[in-house]
Amino acid sequence: MHNISDWAPLVLAALTAICLAGSAAQTPHGAQITKAAFGKLPDGTAVELFTLRNVAGAEACICNYGGIVTSLKVRDRNGKFGDVVLGYDNLASYIKASPHFGCITGRYANRIAKGRFTLDGKEYKLAVNNGPNHLHGGLKGFDKKVWAAKIIQGATGSALELKYTSKDGEEGYPGSLSVTAVYALTEDNALWLDYTATTDKATVCNLTQHSYFNLAGTGDVLDHEVTIFADKFTPVDADMIPTGELRSLDGSPLDFRQAQKIGARINSEDDQVKLGGGYDHNYILSKPARLLGLAARVTEATSGRVMEVLTTEPGVQFYTGNFLDGSITGKGGWTYQKRNGCCFEPGHFPDSPNQPNFPSTVLRPGQTYKNMIVYKFSVQ
């Protein structure tokens, strides 16, 4: 088991190596960033929308309500731009009801069993918002907070920095947690997300990005071909809580070590697939621990778009929009149905605070939590 702070030097070394290796392919100037009003919360708090655009014309829009990636436009093989994430056209819809479209999820992404965990001999009771469990930070997690926004200069040019401090006791968590999220769009069409956090009291922390991707920009994702670089996964019980087992993917319909269409085995009679209503499982990544490496690769034949997902984290939650049911009308009047999007949520394992054999998510004063995520786009 390791502490989160142990990762920082290795992650920084990996990032430096990657930036140096890729510098010849990038122009000296990173994405340009513009800012516009994006509406107000019911209490009158103003929300802003930031547009990151690189020289090639790729574009990422992020609002400081929930750190939501509201759109992400990249080219297809014919050079035509298309939006590859689900979401809404306006702030009011995100506020009214959102299945975590494009947001930062925390203080703890994914599920914690029965909304409880014990740390240093003390039990903490969290908000329960997913059956008997705590999910994605609770009733008002980081996805529903207005973050302080600032445009900064990073290694590849301008970047967007969001900051939020979660007070001691918020949603039941101990400690005042100070979080920074940095978004950068590089000239090779990669959206870089860099999350860091510190605390004044021992707590747990697990952040991720929750975009629903559709590389075709329309229809379902059943023909998307997915590769996940993992040999094992964490099977779940009827409440979608890990049993504690680290199970081999050999012979399982959850095995994506060879590229498979999402729809090929999603209706399997396998118990794990049936419990999730499709894929909603944490994969234990095969990459070197604590280093930035490939988690998944997705291709879509019609558009030719390719997405690679990289992370420093030990796992990735693969989710196939199982709870989209036609009740949500999103961007451009598109009514989102089951399987219209898929998520790749890099992070620690679900319920880690209650699973002693999982990598630790405990963060203590003097340590720094860090998660780096990259979504890189190309065509074939």
pLDDT digits (tens, 9 = 90+) for 132-148: 999 999 999 999 999 99
| Across 301-319, average pLDDT | 98
**Structure confidence at residue 2 (pLDDT):** 40
The average pLDDT across 116-139 equals: 96
pLDDT tens track for 162-216: 999 999 999 999 999 999 999 999 999 999 999 999 999 999 999 999 999 999 9
Mean pLDDT, the chain, as a whole number?
A: 92
Residue pair 366/175 in contact by the 8 Å Cβ criterion: no
Q: Which residue among the candidates 134, 136, 210, 281 is catalytic per the annotation? A: 210
Sequence-distant (6+) residues with CB within 8 A of 202 are: 119, 120, 174, 175, 362, 363, 364, 365
Q: What is the DSSP string of 84-131?
A: -B---SSHHHHHH--S-TT-EE-SB-SEEGGGEEEETTEEEEPPP-BT
Q: Higher model confidence: residue 24 or residue 202? A: 202
Class of domain 4-26+39-379: mainly beta
* Catalytic residue list contains 345: yes
* Residue 356, burial from CB neighbour count under 10 angstroms (0-12, 13-18, 19+): exposed
**Which of 379, 378, 380, 307 lies closest to 346, judged by CA?**
307
pLDDT of residue 31: 84
The active-site residue out of 170, 171, 187, 345 is 345
- Residue 325, amino acid: D
- Residue 275 pLDDT greater than 60, yes or no: yes
The Cα–Cα gap between 132 and 114 comes to 5
**Cα–Cα distance, 71 to 61 (Å, whole number):** 5
CA distances from 359 to 11, 118, 354 (A): 16, 16, 11
134 is catalytic: no
> Can you tell me whether residue 161 is helix, strand or coil?
strand
Cα–Cα distances in Å, from 45 out to 83, 123, 336? Answer: 28, 35, 29
Residue 290, pLDDT score: 86
Tell whether the torsion through CA atoms of 269, 275, 277 and 282 is positive or negative. negative
pTM here?
A: 0.91
Contact by Cβ (8 Å): 68, 88 = no
Domains of the chain, by residue range, sit at 4-26+39-379
